[in-house]
Structure 1
């Protein structure tokens, strides 16, 4: 039995090698595309529900972008706090702000996709750039750099939505590592020519791509997924590109308690079950290989006489993963999380396993 386990372990290491070196290496060792500003009219779309504190801080940052032709479409999704009041004040203060007021609809009660659909239709420009109400761009060139990736063929641009660093917070390192790893995955598959997801914190596409797939209609009843499910449906090898220039990043306020982050990850992971079959398969194989690598490593080191061979395989696996993620973390300005890589990975793998088990017995809470 241990012999069979050993050979399975070798296969697992081989699978991990394929993912980290062949697949993720496409992003890890890629050079950033040269930014050639297009100066095309852009509509920045922000949807908010009860985000008064965040929009008070971040809308002025969006308004200060160094770009000649852009509007900001602010969507208030039936907020019960002061969000709408703030939006109305910003509309008076900035001439390029367009306000969309969404009232609760019985058919789409509390559905962010319904609110976003109204905002997309209201946008006057054909090129749309999305971020969340609790996000802000790292530089005044965010619009310029993201929009520079558009071409007549490339009409979907996947960006990086990072989380702020909190000193002396190990949870923060876990959150940022998981965010980085997710970005490495969707950037890499997009580079290969098989884009499967993006994040609404930093995402751009031409309006026609939205209408080509009838918007969110095919997954309107699924509360999450206005970003990743849409990209999974609309993105192709021909129409999708990525942007990882460090001045194109957006930053969000991270969760500060494990309970809140756990609930957030449940919402995110719940949409993956609706991806295309190949995408579900490749994500499942990657996660299962991570889990089994950890479990089989412990078993074989404890019971196999040839433990030195096992130890060498473990070392080899951590060498190539550390190199690939090291290059990737440098690109995404997350190098500090790699000092804790083995520990964070183990915690994250078993947290994801816990999320999967928990989701089987209860549904996650969605849009506020």
Structure 2
């Protein structure tokens, strides 16, 4: 019996390790920093709903990009605050600013995808770069770097949307979850199976959007204007990644547990509509994590402690190397000493979110 349990625990851990070895594709990937960037025209799109304060704070950092030829399309998604007024103020100050004012209708009530579609139709340029109202580029090179990745064969670019470093455990957990997610979607893209991207830092061509009929296949799903679109259209040939520090966007993270859980419920709800292959792989990784953490402490009671400890240590060493390298790439190395604790809390949080989504549907965006 102990030998059977040893084989079971070893198999669970081996499966988990294999995932981390797949993630090493990103962790040990080397990116060639370009010194000369494409100067072709770009349309930057920001869809905002009740984001007056964030727009006031972050639009200047978009307009100060050193890219020589771009327009900024601000989409007001039926806001009830001063969002439209702020947009109009920026338009008066800068001719590059264009406004799309969306009024709700019965068919697309509260749909960000409907609002974004109107903004994309307004765009003058083929290259489209997306970010959110609560995001600021990490440098004035962001737009040039991200848009330069769009080449003849690469119509979709996955960027990194970081969260601002602040005090507190919730902030660390949010940044750890973001690190884990980015490590996965960058790794899978490099392995030839891109499955998602984040709207905080995403680029694609208008041709790709219209040839795939935009968001029509998931227009009725509340979220997923970024990851569901990427999941549908991304391929090994048409997708590029960029994780240069100068091409990050930085967002203000949620500051309460309830607001973070609400946000993650929407994300998880969208993920349930991924392609079956992607859902299977992502689910298998999550299950391997859960089973490892359940089996690890129990293993000391049922098998020789030396074998149990050896298996656990090997897993933690491989995880620390792979995820640690990714953390350095994405400038989250201060999280490394807390990986074990953050992983446990994240798994528990994901279980809570799964149960919540099973009981009721998540709310619309803002």
TM-score bucket of the superposed structures, by smaller chain: over 0.9
Aligned partners of 1:40 and 1:68: how far apart in 2? 8
Deviation at 1:34? 3.1
Deviation digits for residues 265-312 of structure 1 (CA, Å, limit 9, x no counterpart) = 1111111110001100000000000000000011112x2240210111
Aligned partners of 1:33 and 1:115: how far apart in 2? 36
Residue in structure 1 matched with residue 321 of structure 2 by the alignment: 323
- Is 1:265 matched with 2:264? yes
Residue in structure 1 matched with residue 334 of structure 2 by the alignment: 336
CA RMSD across the alignment:
0.9
Return 5+ residue gaps in structure 1 as ranges: none
Residue in structure 2 matched with residue 306 of structure 1 by the alignment: 304
- Is 1:51 matched with 2:35? no
Aligned partners of 2:184 and 2:140: how far apart in 1? 27
TM-score with structure 1 setting the length:
0.98
Mapped contact 1:180–1:329 kept (Cα < 8 A): yes
- Is 1:40 matched with 2:40? yes
Mapped contact 1:2–1:300 kept (Cα < 8 A): no
Residue in structure 2 matched with residue 188 of structure 1 by the alignment: 187
Residue in structure 2 matched with residue 357 of structure 1 by the alignment: 355
Query: Does the residue aligned with 1:352 lie in a helix, a strand or coil?
Result: helix
Aligned partners of 2:303 and 2:12: how far apart in 1? 20
Question: Which aligned pairs between 1:215-234 and structure 2 lie closer than 5 A?
Answer: 215-234=214-233
Residue in structure 2 matched with residue 29 of structure 1 by the alignment: 28
Mapped contact 2:3–2:303 kept (Cα < 8 A): no
Query: Does the residue aligned with 2:67 lie in a helix, a strand or coil?
Result: coil
Deviation at 1:3? 4.1
Question: Which aligned pairs between 1:1-368 and structure 2 lie closer than 5 A?
Answer: 3-21=3-21, 23-35=22-34, 36-167=36-167, 169-301=168-300, 303-368=301-366
Q: Which moved more, 1:8-17 or 1:129-138?
A: 8-17
Mapped contact 1:88–1:99 kept (Cα < 8 A): yes
Return 5+ residue gaps in structure 2 as ranges: none
Mapped contact 2:110–2:364 kept (Cα < 8 A): no
Aligned partners of 2:329 and 2:303: how far apart in 1? 41
Deviation at 1:222? 0.1
TM-score with structure 2 setting the length:
0.98
Tell me the number of residue pairs that the alignment of Structure 1 and Structure 2 aligns: 365
Aligned partners of 1:353 and 1:299: how far apart in 2? 20
Deviation digits for residues 250-278 of structure 1 (CA, Å, limit 9, x no counterpart) = 01110111111111111111111100011
Deviation digits for residues 77-100 of structure 1 (CA, Å, limit 9, x no counterpart) = 010000000001111111100100
Deviation digits for residues 159-199 of structure 1 (CA, Å, limit 9, x no counterpart) = 000100003x1111100000011000000000011100000
Deviation at 1:366? 2.2
Query: Does the residue aligned with 1:40 lie in a helix, a strand or coil?
Result: coil
Query: Does the residue aligned with 2:204 lie in a helix, a strand or coil?
Result: strand
Query: Does the residue aligned with 1:106 lie in a helix, a strand or coil?
Result: coil
Change (3 A) 1:312 1:280: same
